Amino acid sequence: MSGTVATTTRMPQRGVERLPETGRSRVVIENISPSVDGGRFAIKRAAGDPVRVEADAFIDGHSNIRVVIRDRTVGGGDWHETDMTPLVNDRWHGSFEVHQVGMHEFAIVAWVDPFATWQADMRKRIAADAVQDIDFAAGAELVKQAAAAGEGDAARSLDQLAEILISGRRGEAVETAISESLTRLMRDHAPRLFVTETAPLKIRVDPARGRFSSWYELFPRSASCDSNRLGTLADVHDRLSTIAAMGFDVLYLPPIHPIGTTFRKGRNNSPQAEAGDVGSPWAIGSSAGGHDAIDPQLGTLDDFDQLVQSAAGLGIDIAMDLAFQCSPDHPYVREHPNWFVHRPDGSIQYAENPPKKYQDIYPFDFECDDWKSLWSELRRIVLFWHGHGVRVFRVDNPHTKPFGFWEWLISEVKDRDPSVIFLAEAFTRPKVMYRLAKLGFTQSYTYFTWRNEPWSIRQYYTELTTPPVADFFRPNAWPNTPDILPEYLQTGARSAYIVRIVLAATLCASYGVYGPVFELLEGRALRPGVEEYLDSEKYQVQRWDINRPDSLADLLTRLNRIRRENPALQHDRTLKFHDADNPQVVCYSKNHGDSVILVAVNTDPFHTQWANIHLDLNALGLPADQPFQVHDLLTDERYRWQGEWAIVKLDPGLNPAHVFAVRRRSRTENDFDYFT
């Protein structure tokens, strides 16, 4: 009959058994964590981080099981095993550390443990005085099987212990049956039969800077101390020691490539440029070159190489901006017009975010017929700068490019050098931001810029720092950016800047500041109701007096020193919020080893606020019945507290925030020594 497809169903032949090959592997393993989308994506950790693994593992009947974690680097190396221990309700846990940067993998392995089952039953029989000779014989048989499978001293020891079990010397046999030595030998050498093993799950291990970093953003053309000329890369080079002294370890430069002249934007994003207007650095490309060139006004490639080398000597990474878009003057427009979208009249479609128009920028068409050549060229650009020492890339608007492109590109780069860091500048919908992180972005901008109220901060950062989000998304908090002057910073209040920078630097292990704009409290908006700067540095050169006495440079320096000296602030997963009875006050803590930090912030930049803080003593590692000291690392003041309640006063005119180091009294200290 036309339009139909004949199908045949094969019935099993009578009398033919079809049994599962794994029918004797009885242990069930499920609900593994951490896992991102069932293993579709790698979880993230940094070198030196622990990986805590949990899973449900159980069996039919009452036999004992053994469960272990296996981990190794992908592509080589032996598996390392870590025992898992039971929690409750067939939930097991264990942890291991990852140290080598690159891809790792782990799996969970479980099997029925006849010896552990026998030993558990023997303990019950011994307690009930109901042991029989046959019970010892059963155990001895299991021990002899292990001896036969082993070799050397272990095999000989097992044979000797088996003989003791069946020797008839009841007291010695009982002692041997439950001895630690026999337990340890059997754990290490007993045959593993009918093993259940899960498919490996991937872990992307980044360098420590992927987890903990302090970013400083600087426009090179505004870096000159000479008002008669544009700043250059050489001027940035001269600023390196100051930036290093402030404690920043990543210096992010907006695009340093040639800037187009066609449809160049004027000051304050005017559609008409006037003589001398320098244009937006994000309008990349001119007759001087494209994405692999340096703007001649900024210097040469040799100048850039020197900058990268000198920065590295000071412990600073230069972060390059990846803005995959072109000015109308970019060589790509002439050489590869098919890489762009064309309008019905044949002209190339410029970028738009209605009603905004960006005539000076042409976006790529990532789905064009020649997409493979386009993707390969953009990979070449990244690897070109990697060849010049760049290990950190801040990616402009990645959410406007295909997910598949980023997964491919990041994998291509990290396969060559797993230490490369990608920061996603994607202020967009949460699921899109999360997907980009899953695809491989090391860090991500966040909504911190707009989270001002304590309830909002608490809600948002609880989400970011707990699984499942914490297993793939690393937040990087920025109080402001060249694109965003939030309303909170338009008040003219110095305390508003202090509040936001303390929150950014202590809520997140990674944070960034658009300075010297932030240092100098620049909060003039283009007009009321918008988040754009008046006289934005995106469109003109600015002259900043970084030595002004009202600068926040000293505060930034102190905060970065506090971050370096207190490991608690170098991690995000231990963030814990503490209740405050004042809705204007937010309080939270972090801990790592012996390092414990407690932060209290007044989010009202104009009024003094008092608050009763209900401390979670468990999170702080404190006993309820002993006093402890809190040392304000911002003011160097010290206080003696005890118990789960504390009172704080936060005056925006003096000190709108406390950053306390929490210190327990040691046994060798008396009250006078410790609290004075």
pLDDT at 132: 93
* Four-point Cα dihedral 566, 569, 574, 580, nearest 10: 100
**Residue from 647, 642, 612, 613 nearest 628 by CA:** 642
Instruction: Let me know if residue 571 belongs to a domain.
Output: no
220 neighbors 59 (Cβ within 8 angstroms): no
pLDDT at 11: 45
15 Ramachandran zone, left/alpha/beta (phi>0; psi -120 to 50): left
| Tokens standing for residue 586 | 């937010």
- For the stretch 9-59, pLDDT in tens is 444 455 556 666 677 899 999 999 999 999 999 999 999 999 999 999 999
Question: Quick one: pLDDT band at residue 1, thresholds 50, 70, 90?
Answer: very low
Out of 425, 471, 519, 522, pick the active-site residue.
Answer: 425
- For the stretch 142-187, pLDDT in tens is 999 999 998 999 999 999 999 999 998 999 999 999 999 999 999 9
Residues 252 and 267 grouped into a single domain: no
- For the stretch 515-566, pLDDT in tens is 899 999 999 999 999 999 999 999 999 999 999 999 999 999 999 999 999 9
Q: Which domain holds residue 46?
A: 28-113+195-205
425 belongs to the catalytic site: yes
Number of domains in the chain: 5
Instruction: Let me know if residue 271 belongs to a domain.
Output: yes
Residues 482 and 385 grouped into a single domain: yes
pLDDT at 7: 39
Out of 396, 519, 537, 572, pick the active-site residue.
Answer: 396
pLDDT at 669: 55
- Residue 268 predicted with pLDDT over 90: yes
Question: Quick one: pLDDT band at residue 357, thresholds 50, 70, 90?
Answer: confident
- Residue 8 predicted with pLDDT over 60: no
Residues 492 and 533 grouped into a single domain: yes
CATH number at residue 480: 3.20.20.80
pLDDT at 17: 65
**Residue from 413, 421, 458 nearest 437 by CA:** 421
- For the stretch 473-519, pLDDT in tens is 999 999 999 999 999 999 999 999 999 999 999 999 999 999 899 99
Residues 107 and 149 grouped into a single domain: no
Residues 86 and 132 grouped into a single domain: no
Instruction: Let me know if residue 122 belongs to a domain.
Output: yes
| Tokens standing for residue 21 | 């090959």
State the chain's mean pLDDT as an integer.
Answer: 94
Residues 590 and 559 grouped into a single domain: no
CATH number at residue 153: 1.20.58.80
Residues 548 and 512 grouped into a single domain: yes
Residue type, 498: I
Instruction: Let me know if residue 49 belongs to a domain.
Output: yes
| Alpha-carbon span 603 to 616, nearest angstrom | 21
Instruction: Let me know if residue 6 belongs to a domain.
Output: no
pLDDT at 19: 66
**Residue from 183, 162, 193 nearest 119 by CA:** 183
Mean pLDDT of all residues in 367-382: 98
Instruction: Let me know if residue 408 belongs to a domain.
Output: yes
391 neighbors 421 (Cβ within 8 angstroms): yes
Residues 99 and 228 grouped into a single domain: no
- For the stretch 584-602, pLDDT in tens is 999 999 999 999 999 999 9
- For the stretch 207-263, pLDDT in tens is 999 999 999 999 999 999 888 899 999 999 999 999 999 999 999 999 999 999 999
Other residues' Cβ atoms within 10 Å of the Cβ of residue 385: 18
| Alpha-carbon span 67 to 71, nearest angstrom | 13
Mean pLDDT of all residues in 135-143: 95
Residues 358 and 459 grouped into a single domain: no
Instruction: Let me know if residue 242 belongs to a domain.
Output: yes
Residues 161 and 121 grouped into a single domain: yes
Mean pLDDT of all residues in 101-126: 96
Mean pLDDT of all residues in 295-308: 98
Question: Quick one: pLDDT band at residue 667, thresholds 50, 70, 90?
Answer: low
Q: How far out from the chain centre does Cα 38 lie?
A: 19
Residues 346 and 224 grouped into a single domain: no
Residues 476 and 619 grouped into a single domain: no
Mean pLDDT of all residues in 285-290: 98
Instruction: Let me know if residue 315 belongs to a domain.
Output: yes
Residue linked to tokens 């009918």: 194
pLDDT at 675: 47
| DSSP bridge partners of 628 | 641, 664
